[in-house]
Amino acid sequence: MKKINHNKNYATKKKYGQNFLNDSSLSDKILDVASINKNTEVLEIGPGLGFLTKKLITNSKFLTSFEIDDDLIPILKKKFGKYENFDLVHRDFLEVDLSKFLENKKDVKVVANIPYYITSPIINKLIEYRENISEIYLMIQKEVAERISSKPHSKNMSLLTHAVQFYAETEYLFTVPKEKFDPVPRVDSAFLGIKILKNKKYESQISEEKYFKYLREAFSNKRKSISNNLSNLGFSKDFVKECLKKVGKTELSRAEEFSVQGFIDFIGILEG
Ligand SMILES: C[S@@+](CC[C@H](N)C(=O)[O-])C[C@H]1O[C@@H](n2cnc3c(N)ncnc32)[C@H](O)[C@@H]1O
């Protein structure tokens, strides 16, 4: 246990990524951009001291919150135990079998200020449940939000960008300065929206396995061109250069120039 959060007289734990929001105007803004209403079923990861929890309970149909920290459970139970549309799950979110909570549910939304040390595993896990979850709204580290929501040609385009944009539309919603957290972290944050694509827009065109096999190689060395990187898959550089021209790229094109659709088209040309 490290620093004391003087407002709440609670000793925050760094190991659980505990930086609690302290500006109450933010909770309204978050509920507003996530369009939460009385018909919405919501999941929250890491309620902490309940900064978002009360508003989520009173404005949604049902809230399920997952909290790992033993010390927070009695506090949360005391504050919110009386609400019938609230389920507090005392578990490590990454270990939980989510299907139990999402069975027969559609269009569930996730709204959370998550522990940043497990941002990618949390997003990957939520995307796995895309049949049941339609929208994901997360407070995360600003640079990671920029990366996930970046557009082709940006230096921020990465494997992670594709790992999310293959399944979802992403939107950088707003920046949150580090002073809005207690204790104050080293980095600024941002609120990110992830909307699962309808009708499996890209998954219907190509298998995940094939897409990510090519993508991993394309990004294997960011300083090298695609024609260099794809030689690992047995393609000659000249052949890859020809294919690049066919999709309107140049010989020196790099992986970060591609959108998801552009990369699917490129794989189609490569495979003939
Ligand atoms: C950044 S704090 C956010 C707290 C609160 N939502 C807020 O905005 O003030 C992250 C929360 O996630 C919890 N947490 C950390 N790792 C977790 C895990 N693996 N599963 C569930 N909760 C976790 C922490 O204990 C903490 O309450």
Taking only the tens place, the pLDDT of each residue in 133-170 is: 999 999 999 999 999 999 999 999 999 999 999 999 99
Which residue has the CA at smallest separation from atom 18 of ligand 1?
92
| Domains in the chain with CATH codes | 2-196 (3.40.50.150), 208-271 (1.10.8.100)
Residue range 249-262: mean pLDDT, rounded:
95
Which residue has the CA at smallest separation from atom 6 of ligand 1?
47
pLDDT number for residue 4: 40
Residues with CB under 6 A from ligand 1: 16-21, 45-48, 51-52, 66-69, 72, 92-94, 113, 115, 118
Report the candidate in 259, 7, 16, 11 with the shortest Cα–Cα distance to residue 157. 259
Q: Would the annotation count 92 as a binding residue?
A: yes
Determine the atom of ligand 1 nearest the C-alpha atom of 69: 25
Given a cut of 80, whether residue 179 has pLDDT beyond it is yes
Q: Could you read off the pLDDT of 115-139 as tens digits, one per residue?
A: 999 999 999 999 999 999 999 999 9
DSSP secondary structure code for residue 1 in this structure: -
pLDDT number for residue 8: 57
Measure 217 CA to ligand 1 centroid, in angstroms: 34
Q: CB-based contacts of 219: which residues, under 8 Å, 6+ apart?
A: 158, 159, 229, 255
> In three state form, how does the secondary structure of 172-201 look?
EEEEECHHHEECCCCCCEEEEEEEECHHHC
Determine the atom of ligand 1 nearest the C-alpha atom of 116: 1
Determine the atom of ligand 1 nearest the C-alpha atom of 94: 19
9: left (phi over 0), alpha (psi -120 to 50) or beta: left
Q: How confident is the model at residue 6 (pLDDT cuts 50, 70, 90)?
A: very low
> CA 102, CA 123: separation in Å to the nearest integer?
16
Q: What are the structure tokens assigned to 75, written together?
A: 């506090």
pLDDT number for residue 1: 37
> CA 188, CA 109: separation in Å to the nearest integer?
24
Given a cut of 70, whether residue 96 has pLDDT beyond it is yes
Are 8 and 75 in contact, with CB atoms under 8 Å apart? Answer: no
ipTM of this complex: 0.99
Q: Would the annotation count 88 as a binding residue?
A: no
Q: Could you read off the pLDDT of 9-68 as tens digits, one per residue?
A: 789 999 999 999 999 999 999 999 999 999 999 999 999 999 999 999 999 999 999 999
Among 18, 43, 63, 187, which residue has the most ligand 1 atoms within 8 Å of its CB, making it the best to mutate?
A: 18
Measure 122 CA to ligand 1 centroid, in angstroms: 12
Q: Would the annotation count 19 as a binding residue?
A: yes
